[in-house]
């Protein structure tokens, strides 16, 4: 039984960081599994976006359905862009968190403490 539901909200860095910290582990494999599980709720949004854009274009080609197709295209475009932002945020936060754990940076999130 699938318990995850597709989420349409825009993620914040704190949400991703909380999901990674909730594992209580410093093992990169455990953190990768937690990242993949967290990201699985947001991945279908990309396919919804592609579906919306394709259906919007097809509806617009049938001129009589253009009033439905044009908003559907823009909705699909909005979903697709939101999915890309979420994916980029998850990847960058994961990289910072794992980099900070491995000691590549001396400050939080892998940032150097001697930044001028």
**What is the pLDDT at residue 114?**
43
- The DSSP result for 9-65, as a single string, is SPP-HHHHHHHHHTT----HHHHHHHHHHHHTTTTHHHHHHHHHHHHHHHHHHSGGG
Q: Does 111 have pLDDT greater than 90?
A: no
Chain segment 37-95, per-residue pLDDT in tens: 988 888 889 999 999 999 999 999 999 999 999 999 999 999 999 999 999 999 999 99
Residue 9 in this model has a pLDDT that exceeds 60: yes
**pLDDT range class, residue 2, cuts 50, 70, 90:** very low
Q: Please calculate the CA angle 26-90-43 and round it to the nearest 5 degrees.
A: 120
Q: How many CB atoms lie within 10 A of CB 16?
A: 23
- CB distance 20 to 35 below 8 Å: yes
As to burial, measured by CB atoms within 10 angstroms (0-12 exposed, 13-18 middle, 19+ buried), residue 98 is middle
Kindly tell me if the per-residue pLDDT of 20 is higher than 60: yes
Q: Which residue has the higher pLDDT, 100 or 104?
A: 100
pLDDT at 104: 55
DSSP at 110 = G
Domain ranges of the chain: 45-102
User: For residue 14, what are its two tokens?
Assistant: 């704190």
pTM of the complete model beyond 0.95: no
């Amino acid at each position: 039984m699938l318990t995850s539901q597709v989420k349409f909200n825009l993620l914040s860095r704190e949400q991703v960081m909380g999901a990674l910290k909730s594992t209580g582990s410093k093992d990169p494999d455990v953190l990768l599994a937690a990242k993949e599980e967290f990201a699985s709720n947001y991945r279908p949004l990309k396919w919804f976006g592609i579906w919306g854009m394709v259906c919007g274009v097809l509806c617009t080609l049938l001129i009589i359905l253009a009033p439905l197709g044009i908003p559907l295209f823009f909705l699909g475009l909005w979903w697709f862009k939101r999915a890309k932002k979420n994916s980029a945020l998850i990847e960058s936060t994961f990289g910072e968190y794992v980099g900070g754990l491995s000691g590549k940076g001396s400050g939080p999130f892998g940032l150097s403490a001697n930044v001028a």
